[in-house]
Amino acid sequence: MRAFTRLDGRAAAMPVANIDTDQIIPKQFLKTVEREGLGKGLFFDLRFDAEGALNEEFVLNHAAFKGANMLIAGENFGCGSSREHAPWALLDFGITCVIAPSFADIFYENCFQNGVLPVVLPDEQVRRLSAEAKGGNHVFSVDLEAQTVIAPSGEIFHFDIDPGRKEKLLKGLDAVGETLQHHEHIGGFEDRRKLTHPWLEKRR
């Protein structure tokens, strides 16, 4: 998993509450367990109309937000099912940070496990960031180490984050990567088990 330290770039504003995981990545894109390629399905029913034509009204289809790597959303972002494909789709599309007043719990945890930083800020601050984002072509900065979001105007917003989650994201560690940090201890345990329980080896 790629480490997250600091992100500079454009932010697209979607100030709508309760955007669920089916809106983030519709069910027809869940047939794969591959993470790559899911970006094409991100917000599919919002990015395209019923005939498959590009919805020019949708924010991520605007030229000013092409290449946006941050999303400013409404409260309870990522509610609905627990599908891990949702952060996979965001990441594959190029969005590595979502700023919102609140997130659904499972989606929030899935973000950390996949290298996406979910930033929680008070609703009033999110509205101010959304207002600045609507102009497009403005640079926002998110610094995980300092725990700050810097708006194009220069205003700085501080966010809280669990120290353990922060450390793992800074180091680019998912659950597997975190476990592998203890590979020497794991290897020692395996060697001792072979000596104390040799019959278990015969079953392999």
pLDDT tens digits, one per residue of 162-199: 999 999 999 998 655 455 454 555 555 565 666 676 66
- Under a CB-based contact definition with an 8 Å cutoff, are residues 60 and 43 in contact? yes
pLDDT number for residue 182: 43
Q: What is the mean pLDDT of residues 128-156?
A: 93
Residue 120 has pLDDT above 90, yes or no: yes
Domain-wise residue ranges, the chain: 6-173
- Answer whether residue 149 shows pLDDT above 70: yes
Looking at the structure, give the CATH architecture of the domain made up of residues 6-173: Alpha-Beta Barrel (3.20)
Confidence (pTM): 0.86
The per-residue pLDDT of the chain, averaged, comes to: 89
State pLDDT tens for residues 44-61. 999 999 888 999 999 999
Token pair, residue 67, equals 């290449």
Please report, rounded to a whole number, the percentage of residues in the chain having pLDDT higher than 90: 73
Strand partners, 11: 70
Question: Given this model, what pLDDT does residue 14 score?
Answer: 96
Residue bearing the bigger pLDDT, 17 or 180: 17
**Angle, vertex CA 132, rays to CA 131 and CA 134, nearest 5:** 70
Q: Parallel, antiparallel, or unpaired: how do β-strands 6-9 and 140-143 relate?
A: antiparallel
* 158 three-state secondary structure: strand
More confident residue, 181 or 152: 152
